Amino acid sequence: MRYYEPRFRMAVLAGEQDRLISKIGGLPWGMPADLWPHCCGCPQKLLAQLRHESPMLDLGKEGLVLHLFQCLECGGIDECGRDVVVIDQSSMGDGLTRVPGWDHSCGLGEPPLIGEFWIDEWLEKDDGIPDERLSEFFVESSYWALQDEFSEIDFYDFLGRTRFGGSPRWTGNGPLVVPPPPFEFLFQIDNSLILEGVSPDVDAVGCVVTTFESGSSHQSNALPVATKLGAPWSIIHEVGSDYYSAEFTNLGSDGTIFVYVDRTQVPHAVQWFWNR
Ligand SMILES: [Zn+2]
């Protein structure tokens, strides 16, 4: 099955945003303020703003933009706090949108914003699993059997946990929340985003950076919360590794966001959930 892996750039290292960019976190670009969803008495936090970009992200029509919001008071765990706003770019403005209370500290996250990461590039990949096996991913028993059959499915492989299209990679809880058809799997984003290279300096990124080497770990001088707007919430880097991981919101420390689409509607209807 073909799928796409986004490559991310940390917004705090990228300069000012001057146009609509597909991204995780931060403030929404050009979204009409009256569409900003609230929950638990507060504005929700932008989790992602993603442009229709087929085949990586098909929202049903050119020019559509998907917004996912998460309430960091309730976490978006139960029935509420996980809003979706899909709008046409023609009804969007210029510049970053703010609403009163956009930067409030929440019970489940002190930073004013969800960590911001821009999608720079898409890598097209193929896991070698035939398309006709897709339905087996959504039944717990057959999913675990697939893992035995295809070495590409690895429960312990957290590197492949952020992917668009193709088939899902569940957490240890298996296919926990799957909306019934006509909803289909659209993409998933892991709690830890993978970035290439060596972790930048703590002052440059404005968050806690933890480096570890087999058995010991070192945490950067204490920075209790993200000190730069849109900074990651934390970074972890293993000495000698050519990548590092960055946490951007509260998904219970190791959760994954799963996003589903109903293609029978235009714009396509979207739902999202997260679980550990
Ligand atoms: Zn809430």
pLDDT in tens, 58-92: 999 999 999 999 999 999 998 899 999 999 999 99
Is the pLDDT reported for residue 12 higher than 90? yes
Cα of 260 from ligand 1 centre, angstroms: 21
Domain residues for 81? 2-121
Q: Could you tell me the CATH number of the domain that includes residue 71?
A: 2.30.320.10
Is the residue at 106 inside a domain? yes
Q: DSSP secondary structure string, 134-188?
A: GGGGGSHHHHHHHHHH-TT--TT-GGGSSEESS-----TT-S---PPTTEEEEEE
Residue 272 within a domain: no
Q: For the chain, how many structural domains are there in total?
A: 1
CB 37, CB 157: distance < 8 Å: no
Write the pLDDT tens digit of every residue in 146-185.
988 998 888 777 788 999 999 999 998 999 999 999 999 9
> Ligand 1 centroid vs 4 CA: distance in angstroms?
31
101 C-alpha to ligand 1 centroid (Å): 14
Q: Which residues contact 65 (CB under 8 A, 6 or more apart)?
A: 20, 31, 49, 50, 51, 52, 59, 86, 87, 88, 89, 92
Mean pLDDT computed over 114-141: 95
Identify the CA nearest to 230 among candidates 5, 39, 60, 29: 29
256 domain residue, yes or no: no
Question: In DSSP terms, which residues pair with 252 in a beta bridge?
Answer: none
The answer to whether the CB of 177 falls within 8 A of the CB of 275 is yes
113 alpha carbon – ligand 1 mean position (Å): 15
> Ligand 1 centre and the CA of 78: distance in Å?
9
Q: Is the pLDDT of residue 52 over 70?
A: yes
Q: What is the 3-state secondary structure (H, E, C) of 200-213?
A: CCHHHHCCEEEEEE
| CA–CA gap between residue 133 and residue 140 (Å, rounded) | 14
Q: Which tens digits make up the pLDDT trace of 179-219? A: 999 999 999 999 999 999 999 988 899 998 988 887 777 77
